[in-house]
Amino acid sequence: MAINYFYPDYEVIRNEKKCIKCKACVRQCANEVHAYDEELDCLVSDDASCVDCQRCVSLCPTRALKIVETDNTFKKNANWPQAMITDAYRQAGTGGVLLSSMGNPQPYPVYWDKMLINASQVTNPSIDPLREPMETQTFLGKKPRTIKFDSEGNIVSETYPNLKLSIPIMFSAMSYGSISKNAHESLARAATELGIYYNTGEGGLHQDFYQYGANTIVQVASGRFGVHKKYLEAGAAIEIKMGQGAKPGIGGHLPGTKVGEDVSRTRMIPRGTDAISPAPHHDIYSIEDLRQLIFSLKEATDYKKPVIVKIAAVHNVAAIASGIARSGADIIAIDGYRGGTGAAPTRIRDNVGIPIELALASVDQRLRDEGIRNDVSVVVGGSVRNAGDIVKAIALGADAVYIGTAALLALGCHLCRSCHGAKCNWGIATQRPDLVKRLNPEIGYKRLVNLLHAWDHEVKEMMGGMGINSIESLRGNRLMLRGIGLTEKELDILGISHAGE
């Protein structure tokens, strides 16, 4: 039916004068956009298959290619944008739920961009991180409530396992299966080199990566894929995934096409089957059940590892976080509605959840109001995009941040949002061996290290500008933030003043 044929969103523009017919684009495109026409001795494109991942553009040796947004247009309608109309056509054609990948791209407010950072002038000197010590090391986990020493000065109070981070940034959960083995290796090696942690996601831990256990957070999600005693013992911390910012309220879905031999063994599921994690944990229907799982995991690992509970930022996130803090969790991870995903139903990704900035501000304040902020650390993600966002997150009250999308960008991701197609031309969100090998972990891990070193330096520069030489003195220091263009209510929730006040 003609209605099901759409003019492509993106057009491949080839400059015939520049094209040398080397066919690199043909070889590079897993979506088979490019083809060589032998009769006409020229390259042709199927625009309809293009996802605008920029792989061919990047690798065209003569820069003969570019991808442009089409100017073909439906009749303009502010209430019915073109994408919404074609979504309706697609669903009328298939009866299916629409799928998307990566974070919510809709034009909701980004609160990071509506906050500004302070700097010292006159009454208080700024500090130059190139000349003076500037500390970004931090610990995550429960702190003792009291401290007592014996007569010899030894600490006799009970202490709790903590994670030591050389910089307050971690790689957030991305499962092996949703991303490639080479992507995982890059993350694991970068975390080890940086003295931070990466997170297995819900797909288990590949046998080759147990060697990076000291810098690994192992995740336990509702599907329990790849969870066994040795796995729990391998990591430095255990994360219970209750929710994800990109798809609060639902589980996960790894298509069978991504479940090859290795993924099948790591996840402990049959090859080629869809890996579907249920929406809730079926042993957690309330907060008291969560407490039991937390302590089951602690028992299994001899109380040597902090337990993280990860939740999506939803409307009553403050009350939920407070309940989690009282349930024995050592760290709460909150994932905002802009957090990435390998696949999520489009309507859920684009409509469910709340901004991480507001969730963080209300959780931090709530835990303080209840006097339990020191019992638990708070880590936020979804989405933290640069060093400025990190400084703002910590000033609002976060102990550290999780980055996912930014880490994938360092590995070459161009945010084409087509991960669910499993044909990632950059070798990240795919399991096809010919594509996976395009991502060299030797280079990948170094790029991740570079990115975080750069951000760490930028964080230090901004801290020094404020006259702060330790990340601890920035945490929760909301006086260092001012809002710009925010309403009274928004300022109230963020707990900050407006610029000029």
Partner 1 sequence: MLKKEGQIRIPSGCAISGFINRSGERISGDKIVKSISYMHDRSNGLGGGFAGYGIYPEYKDLYAFHVFYEDSAAREETERFLEEHFDIVNLSRIPTRKHKNIINEPLIWRYFLEPLPTKLAASQLEEKEFVAQSVININIKISGAYVFSSGKNMGVFKAVGFPEDVGEFYRLEDYAGYAWTAHGRYPTNTPGWWGGAHPFALLDYTIVHNGEISSYDANRRFVEMYGYKCTLLTDTEVITYIIDFLNRKHSLNFEDIAKIIAAPFWSKIDTLPAQEKEKLTLFRNMFSSLLITGPFSIILGFDGGIMALNDRLKLRSMVAAEKGDMVYIASEECAIRAICPEVDKIWSPKGGEPIIVTLNNGGGKRGN
Which of the residues 230 through 259 are near partner 1 (CB under 8 A)?
Answer: none
Q: Residue 95 or 371: which CB sits closer to partner 1?
A: 371
Q: Residue 335 or 399: which CB sits closer to partner 1?
A: 399
Which of the residues 131 through 150 are near partner 1 (CB under 8 A)?
Answer: 132-133, 135, 137-139, 143-144, 146-147, 149
Which of the residues 360 through 389 are near partner 1 (CB under 8 A)?
Answer: 368, 371, 373-374
Instruction: Examine residue 156 and tell whether it contacts partner 1 (CB under 8 A).
Output: no
Query: CA 323 → CA 238, 291, 310, 326, distances in Å?
Result: 19, 10, 13, 5
Q: What SS3 class is residue 455?
A: helix
x/- letters, 442..481, toward partner 1 (CB under 8 A): ------------------------xxxxx-xxxxxxxxx-
- What is the dihedral sign for C-alpha 383, 388, 391, 395? negative
Q: What SS3 class is residue 66?
A: strand
Rounded CA separation 377/228 (Å): 26
Q: Which of 251, 394, 242, 212 is nearest to 310 (CA)?
A: 242
Rounded least distance, CB 394 to partner 1, Å: 10
Which of the residues 64 through 123 are near partner 1 (CB under 8 A)?
Answer: 120, 123
Rounded least distance, CB 478 to partner 1, Å: 5
Cα 233–236–239 angle (5° rounding)?
Answer: 85
Rounded CA separation 29/40 (Å): 21
Rounded least distance, CB 493 to partner 1, Å: 15
Query: Does residue 246 contact residue 174 with C-beta atoms inside 8 Å?
Result: no
Q: Residue 79 or 154: which CB sits closer to partner 1?
A: 154
Rounded least distance, CB 472 to partner 1, Å: 4
Strands 237-241 and 252-254: unpaired
Rounded least distance, CB 191 to partner 1, Å: 20
Rounded least distance, CB 357 to partner 1, Å: 17
- What is the dihedral sign for C-alpha 127, 128, 133, 136? positive
Q: Residue 341 or 377: which CB sits closer to partner 1?
A: 377
Rounded least distance, CB 396 to partner 1, Å: 11
Rounded CA separation 298/271 (Å): 31
- What is the dihedral sign for C-alpha 174, 243, 245, 341? positive
| Positions in the binding site for partner 1 (CB under 8 A) | 120, 123-125, 127, 132-133, 135, 137-139, 143-144, 146-147, 149, 153-155, 159, 162, 368, 371, 373-374, 397, 466-470, 472-480
